[in-house]
């Protein structure tokens, strides 16, 4: 079983923001694989289903971003999963809008949601799919930037990156992270 977690902030106020790109990918995965996201458990909205012949839990933590680890830890404990069963999808301001970067492990890179997950699960050894949301303008506060919505000119790239992130998640499940890294990193 794999747990695929998309990071974001709960509530309509944050829907469609740069910081909620992880939620957007989970929504698309749920639609593509006919997985209902109706269950509320472990401080998250969950859906159970199959992707590429593997049982999966799709999850959107309903804590705020910087407390995402509480939800992830609860899911991992309940489903008896290890860190190598976890895939986390989240926003990255160091990548151009629409770019993906997949890694098998690593630091939080300044992302508060990832810092909290690493702290709660006690490991950096889990797969992550980073979705580029573009660099913060020099005169803008970081929090204001990641909580802003994409401009019209970015929307086609964001739709495409969400679709590719779904494809990457499926490839991670079927063939492993290395195959997904080879196919999607650098595109």
Enumerate the active-site residues.
19
CA atoms within 13 A on the CB side of 155: 5
Cα 174 from Cα 73, distance rounded (Å): 24
Burial of 38 (0-12, 13-18, 19+ CB in 10 A): exposed
Cα 12 from Cα 39, distance rounded (Å): 18
Angle at 47 between CA 9 and CA 73, to 5 degrees: 60
Distances (CA, A) of 43 to 38, 40, 110: 13, 7, 23
Give the SS3 label for residue 158: helix
Cα 159 from Cα 163, distance rounded (Å): 6
Contact between residue 44 and residue 62 where contact means Cβ atoms under 8 Å apart: yes
Tokens of 139: 């005169």
């Amino acid at each position: 079983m794999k747990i695929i977690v998309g990071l974001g902030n709960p509530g309509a106020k944050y829907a469609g923001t740069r910081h909620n790109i992880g939620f957007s990918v989970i929504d698309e995965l749920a639609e593509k694989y006919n997985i209902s996201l109706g269950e509320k458990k472990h401080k998250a909205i969950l859906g159970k289903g199959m992707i590429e012949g593997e049982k999966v839990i799709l999850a959107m933590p309903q804590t705020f971003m910087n407390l995402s680890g509480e939800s992830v830890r609860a899911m991992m404990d309940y489903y008896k999963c290890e860190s190598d069963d976890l895939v986390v999808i989240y926003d990255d301001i160091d990548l151009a809008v629409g770019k993906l970067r997949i890694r098998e492990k690593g630091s939080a890179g300044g992302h508060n949601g990832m810092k909290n997950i690493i702290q709660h699960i006690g490991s950096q050894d889990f797969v992550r799919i980073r979705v580029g949301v573009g660099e913060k303008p020099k005169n803008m506060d970081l929090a204001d930037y990641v909580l802003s919505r994409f401009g019209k000119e970015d929307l086609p790239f964001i739709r495409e990156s969400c679709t590719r992130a779904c494809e990457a998640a499926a490839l991670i499940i079927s063939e492993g992270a290395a195959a997904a890294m080879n196919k999607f990193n650098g595109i």
